[in-house]
Structures are given as C-alpha cells and as structure tokens.
Amino acid sequence: HSNKEEASMFICDLIINRINAFKPNQNKKFVLCLPTGSTPLLVYKELAERCKQGKISFEHVITINLDEYAGLEPDHEQSYYHFMEESFFSKALSELTAPFELVDIPLNQFHLLPGSPIPPLNESHEDSCSTYESLITSLGGINLSFCGIGENGHIAFNEPGSSFNFRTRLVKLDEETRKVNARFFYDKSHVPTHALTMGIGTIMAAQEIIVLAIDSKKSEAVRNALEGGINHLCPASVLQLHETVIFVTDEEASQDLK
C-alpha cells in the first residue's frame, strides 16, 4: 500500500471480514491475537470507529495478546495491559462510561499475559505462561493472529535466535529491542529487561497470520523475512512456512523487496 493509512485500512477490513464470516457457537468463539506498539494504532482506532458505526461487534470475539513486559503492573503506563486499555478495550473496562468509546468486547473476553503475579494465585512467570498456552488450547486455538515485526525481525518478543518450536515463555529482551522501545519510557534504563511472549510455535499454530509493517525502519526486516532464507536469526522468516500469511506494508517498509 502507498501509505500507512491504506495499509491499516486493509488490515482493519480483513479483521472485520474474518470475524463477520465466522459463525460462533457454544464451543467456539473467534479468537483474535493482537499486538501492541506503534504499528497497530490506526487499525485499533478504525476498528473502534467501525464498532461505533455498528459494522463490527466484538461480542463473540476473544482477544489474546502476544506479549507483556515482565515486572510491570497492569496499571503501569507502559504495560501492554494499559496500552490495550487505552487503545482498544476501555469501553469494556469502563462499562460504557468512557469519554471515548472503544470496542464492545465483554470484560472477560480479552486476555493478556500477566507482567507481574496476580493475587490470589501469585503464579510464577513460568506458570502464567503455561496457563496461557492451556487457555489458547481451551479456546480451540487462534483463528487470526495479527502481528507487528521488530526492526531486528522479531515477532512478538521472539528475538533473533529463538527456536521455531518455542511456546509461551519468559524471555530476555535484546538490547536493540530495549533501545528501540526506550522511546516509550523515560530512558532505556527504565525499559524492562524481560518479557513474557507467545512462542513462535504458538503463533505458527494460528489458522491465519497477518503482519503489518510500516516505515523504512522495517524495510530490512521485511526483506529478510520474505526474501531471506528461513533462519532463526530473523524469527519472522519462519512465516514463509505457514500456509496462510499476509504481509501488509506501506511503500517504505517494502522498499527493499525485489
């Protein structure tokens, strides 16, 4: 697409079409996996707008986020829980009284990995990760996984070198990722050193995957993911092995493709 607005509209339309085409029943709701960061912001804004216009409802959708910083409480302003609350869920959280209305997802139908232990269970990070995997299984798997891509080719927080078989787990963030994400924090020293992330194996088990890449900063990662060899040094290159993947880019992010 020629710009990020068009690329984001394409993703938004695709998500709406897939949800509207799905027939939920007692045993299976549509399970949508979601990213955070700068990339999905326009998509979330547009989904909220279409929801307001009655073109889409999240009543029968279950969302499950890709990752969360380890050590951040849900109300920390840089936690991904807080990000989702601000950009997507707040209508559910505020029980319809928010000044700005977002999507109509019921309160118990969105899930994020807990960055810090939640009372009364106080699970360890390892236990939270295996609970998350069991949750995905009990939901009948992921129908559509919407992902961003890191400048270093990561998907979710699966940094270069991650095994393609890994499931949800606690990871150490690459220094490059902490540097890139320092723009959201006071400075790099405040960026958590670890995160909880869905594994590549978990993401690859989704029925369909869509990746949005915007800006020239992503062009090298996009080229390595699509035209490089399948290599765990560019985790997103594993997507070449999935049967149903769509990469959506603006012109700048695809400028290095042949």
Which residue has the closest beta carbon to ligand F6R? 148
8 A C-beta contact, residue 158 and residue 188: no
Asked if 235 interacts with ligand F6R (CB under 6 A), we say no
Applying CB under 6 A, the span of 11-19, 94-102, 115-123, 149-157 interacting with ligand F6R comes to 149-157
**157: nearest Cα among 202, 220, 205:** 202
Asked if 168 interacts with ligand F6R (CB under 6 A), we say no
Q: Give exposure, 186-220, as e/b (b: 16+ Cβ within 10 Å).
A: eeeeebbeebbbbbbbbbbbbebbbbbbbeeebbb
What x-and-dash track marks residues 44-63 binding ligand F6R by CB under 6 A? --------------------
Residue 89, Cβ density class (10 Å: 0-12 exposed, 13-18 middle, ≥19 buried):
buried
Q: Which of residues 26-45 bind ligand F6R (CB under 6 A)?
A: 35-39
Among 46, 67, 85, 159, binds ligand F6R (CB under 6 A): 67
Q: In what order do the strands lie in the sheet with 169-172?
A: 67-69, 194-197, 169-172
What is the closest distance, in whole angstroms, from the C-beta atom of residue 124 to ligand F6R in the complex? 22
Among 154, 167, 169, 223, binds ligand F6R (CB under 6 A): 154
What is the closest distance, in whole angstroms, from the C-beta atom of residue 53 to ligand F6R in the complex? 26
8 A C-beta contact, residue 231 and residue 237: yes
Among 12, 66, 142, 245, binds ligand F6R (CB under 6 A): 66
Among 114, 150, 153, 160, binds ligand F6R (CB under 6 A): 150
Within its chain, how far is the Cα of 31 from the centroid? 12
What x-and-dash track marks residues 193-232 binding ligand F6R by CB under 6 A? ----------------------------------------
What is the closest distance, in whole angstroms, from the C-beta atom of residue 245 to ligand F6R in the complex? 15
| Sign of the four-CA dihedral 197, 234, 258, 245 | negative
Q: Which residue matches tokens 């319809």?
A: 96
Among 148, 153, 160, 192, binds ligand F6R (CB under 6 A): 148
**9: nearest Cα among 237, 212, 230, 235:** 212
What is the closest distance, in whole angstroms, from the C-beta atom of residue 177 to ligand F6R in the complex? 7
Cα–Cα distance, 1 to 252 (Å, whole number):
9
